[in-house]
Amino acid sequence: MEFYWHYVLYLVLGILVGIINTIGGGGTGLLYPLLIFMGMSPHMAVGTARLSMLTQGLFGFLGFRSSGYFLYPFNLYLSVSALTGCIFGSFLSMEIPEGMYKKLIAVVITMTTLLLFFGNQKRKPGTQPRVHGKYLFLSIILFFILGIYIGIVQTGIGFLMLIPLMLINKLDIHQANSVKVMVLFIASIPALIIFAMFGYVSWPAAIALAIGTSLGSYFTGKFSVRIPERKLKIFIAAMVIFLAVRLWVFD
pLDDT bracket for residue 140 (50, 70, 90): very high
Q: Of 239 and 168, which is predicted with more confidence?
A: 168
Lowest-confidence segment of 35-44, 167-176, 199-208, 233-242 by average pLDDT: 233-242
Average pLDDT over residues 166-187: 86
Q: Where are the domains of the chain?
A: 4-249
Nearest to 185 by CA among 217, 227, 137, 232: 217
pLDDT at 215: 81
pLDDT above 90 (res 157): no
Per-residue pLDDT of 118-135, as tens digits, reads 555 455 556 677 888 899
pLDDT above 50 (res 33): yes
pLDDT bracket for residue 213 (50, 70, 90): confident
Per-residue pLDDT of 44-74, as tens digits, reads 888 998 888 788 777 777 777 777 677 788 8
Share of the chain above pLDDT 70, in %: 69
pLDDT at 9: 85
Report the C-alpha dihedral over residues 144, 148, 151, 157, rounded to 10 degrees. Answer: -80
pLDDT above 80 (res 25): no
How high does pLDDT run on average in the chain? 77
pLDDT at 1: 44
Per-residue pLDDT of 217-240, as tens digits, reads 777 665 655 556 566 556 666 665
